[in-house]
Chain A
Amino acid sequence: MAATPVVSIRGLWKSFTDTPVLKGVDLDVHRGEVVTIIGPSGSGKTTLLRCFTLLETSDGGGGTMDGVEVGYRDDGGERVPRSERELAPIRAETGMVFQMFYLFPHLTALQNVMLGLVKVRRMARAEAEEAAAAWLKRVGLADRMQHLPSQLSGGQQQRVGIARAVAMAPKVLLLDEITSSLDPSLVDEVLAVVRSLAEEGRTMILVTHEMAFARNVSDRIVRMAQGTIVADGAPGEVLDGVVPSPSGRGLG
């Protein structure tokens, strides 16, 4: 019997006003897999990640993480939407890194990484500080720990964003176009960090337009177009030719 996927998305639908953005998307990601989602702007890549973590409310379908339904809980046989409080610990298991970083501007780099460790993981401050410092060193920011986000370059800010997410030891890292708002000269430093995380066998879903990087780092590439998955397979197969999605959805 196949292992339960870390991330399993089934029949995800989402429309903004009357425009469908996701049209019943299915996606499984297994432990240790690096899956990259590619596709033109507006194809639903980011919305897929946001709906999975319920940063966006979907119109139908949903996801599970390690077999646990993200958006609903079982209440005596009845499916009940999870409250924000119930969602919080589930979201902590999905390390989301944003295109625009969204670092907390009033906190130093170290405090940005520590916040979740102290408040969510309930670590003692000294322990959290040690863990946060270790992650900042790992992403090459040992000398920037006490800097505020406004004192960091875009690439440095994004590396803090990655450290903040990965320090929480999430079950899956969701990286949403994390180099799209960076100066081209700063892209490589961020991708190097992602590559090193991928090499550790972390489960990751990347949304990116960096095709060469996607080919190099991914176990699988998923191509989306107009709200559906139109190809899903090995990087070479998807990037070099059309590979049908396992469900056959959205082809033709």
Chain B
Amino acid sequence: MSPGFAAMLDALPFLWRGLLVTLSVSALVVVLSLVAGAVLGLMRVYGPPVLQPAVQAFSDIVRGIPVLVLIFFVFYGLPVVGLQVNSFTSAVLALAIFSTAQVTELARGALQSIHHGQNEAAKAIGLTFGQRMASVILPQAARRFLPAWVNSVTDAVKGSALVSLIGVGDLMMAIQQVIGRTYQALPLYVLGGAIYFAINYGLSLLSRHCEQRLSYYQARE
């Protein structure tokens, strides 16, 4: 057995713990940003006119900052304003803010892509705003939102690799620690890449499956 392959096998239990942290960070970021981004996206399109520019400003500013800068900003900035949080919380918060800005734009785009006639037809049969959203607009917008959102989820998983830079013991940090012990850099980076790829490819397959299930454009008989 080659030393590289042996190092990869030996590292698996240790990497597993890092993988769990990566998955935890990613899952929290995905859920938080989905909820916050969907709400902000709705506010951006249908909210009070006074709030719409504020939401847009949030989205524009955050999307204009590199995610690594945002992570350091939250990690070093929160203690300055008296908020003592651990590196895991800082990492989740920073990535969630970044991802929320992406999701907000995706939600805005999906909502605005629904033809105004759909809203008018729903109004014409007497549906209230809530009913129009629940029964007509959101089911259609969700289908357009899904593929782009899965992209943002994979970005969140990949972006989580940066949290090792503020001391979070994720998969990336575990890989670096193993490399520090074994000096088998290339095999372990290949293994790490394969693990990240497996997660994201799985998500992409799931997304394609969902898109097919949800598709309402079928061939005319």
Is A147 part of the binding interface, using a Cβ–Cβ cutoff of 8 Å? yes
In the complex, which range does the number of interface residues on chain B fall in? Answer: 20 to 34
In contact, A55 and B120 (Cβ under 8 angstroms)? yes
Instruction: For A103, give the chain B residue with the smallest CB separation.
Output: B121
With A102-B121, A104-B118, A106-B139 given, is the CB distance from A116 to B220 under 8 Å? Answer: no
| Interface presence of B69 (CB below 8 A) | no
Residues in B with CB closer than 8 Å to A152 are 220
Among candidates B117, B127, B140, residue contacting A88 with C-beta atoms closer than 8 Å: B127
Kindly identify which residue among A88, A104, A148 contacts B121, using a CB–CB cutoff of 8 Å.
A104
- Residues of B within 8 Å of A168, CB to CB, are 125-126
- Selecting from B79-87, B129-137, B157-165, B167-175, the interface stretch reads B129-137
Give the distance in Å from the alpha carbon of A104 to the alpha carbon of B140 in the complex. 9
Which residue from chain A places its CB closest to the CB of B142 in the assembled complex? A106
Complex CA–CA separation, A90 to B121 (angstroms):
14
What is the distance, in angstroms, from A56's C-beta to the closest C-beta of chain B?
A: 10
What's the tally of chain A residues with a CB closer than 8 Å to chain B? 34
Binds B, one of A4-12, A60-68, A93-101, A198-206: A93-101
Which chain B residues lie closer than 8 Å to A93 at the CB level?
126
Cα–Cα, bound, A103→B120 (Å): 11
B123 lies within 8 A of A150 (CB)? no
A138 in the interface (beta carbon within 8 A): no
**Contact flag A98-B120 (CB < 8 Å), given A84-B128, A92-B126, A151-B220:** yes
User: Chain A residue with minimal CB distance to B219?
Assistant: A151
Q: For the complex, what is the distance from the CA of A195 to the CA of B175, rounded to whole Å?
A: 75
Q: How far is the CA of A102 from the CA of B132 in the complex (A)?
A: 14
Contact B131 A119 (CB under 8 A): yes
Whether a CB of chain A sits under 8 angstroms from the CB of B213 is no
Nearest Cβ distance between residue B137 and chain A, in whole angstroms?
A: 10
Hey, which bits of chain B sit against chain A, CB under 8 A?
115, 117-118, 120-129, 131, 135-136, 139-140, 143, 216-221
Query: Which residues from chain A sit less than 8 Å from chain B, CB to CB?
Result: 53, 55, 84-85, 87-96, 98, 100, 102-106, 115-116, 119-120, 147-148, 150-153, 164-165, 168
10 cross-chain pairs, A with B, having the tightest CB-CB distances, nearest first = A92-B126, A116-B125, A102-B121, A96-B124, A102-B117, A120-B126, A106-B216, A150-B217, A88-B128, A151-B220
A-B contact pairs, 6 of them (CB 8 A): A85-B129, A92-B125, A94-B124, A102-B120, A104-B136, A115-B125
Q: A115-B125, A148-B217 are in contact. List 11 more A-B contacts (CB 8 A).
A: A55-B124, A96-B124, A98-B120, A102-B121, A103-B121, A104-B118, A104-B121, A104-B140, A119-B131, A148-B216, A150-B216
